[in-house]
Amino acid sequence: MDKYYDDGGNQLCLNCLYFCTTCTTNLICTSCDSATRNTSNLTACSCLAGYYDNGVSSSCIPCLASCATCVNSNNCLTCPVTRYLTSALACTCNPRTYEPSCNPCNYSCLACSTTPTTCTSCNGTAYRYLNANSSSCVCYDTYYDDQSN
């Protein structure tokens, strides 16, 4: 019977560790949930990347989509390459990319939001300023757009 084992000493079946699907003793798993747990080390049945162990369920719980690995439902441990880990343990898009996809901003934007061409700041050293009406970075007078910065 899954989740229980016969200890051979009494007529009761005893509980396996919460993360074991089947076990031979309370410390030795013989199987665990292969969809969300690493089955190569049955003594730990650790969660696969992108999941965390809530300490109760035999299945691991999915991390937030922005996390590569996490410690719980709100805190990331590592991020995918398109994101970085903040001090608040959240994965935020890398600079010059925008949420939620972390796709790159247009070359003219220093930062953008919602679309690649919706600029929120511009690179002043590239002789650009933010046009508040169009949310675009335009060249200062007497400068031209060379399509590269």
pLDDT digits (tens, 9 = 90+) for 100-135: 899 999 999 999 999 999 999 998 888 999 999 999
**Above 90 in pLDDT, residue 60?**
yes
pTM over 0.75: no
Q: Amino acid identity of 5?
A: Y
Rounded distance between C-alpha atoms, residue 70 and residue 36, angstroms:
14
In the structure, what pLDDT confidence band is assigned to residue 141 with cuts at 50, 70 and 90? very high
Residue 140, pLDDT score: 93
Which of 62, 142, 137, 140 minimizes the C-alpha distance to 96? 137
Which of 57, 4, 55 minimizes the C-alpha distance to 33? 57
The 3-state DSSP class for residue 125 equals helix
In the structure, what pLDDT confidence band is assigned to residue 29 with cuts at 50, 70 and 90? confident
The tokens of 64 are what? 């937030």
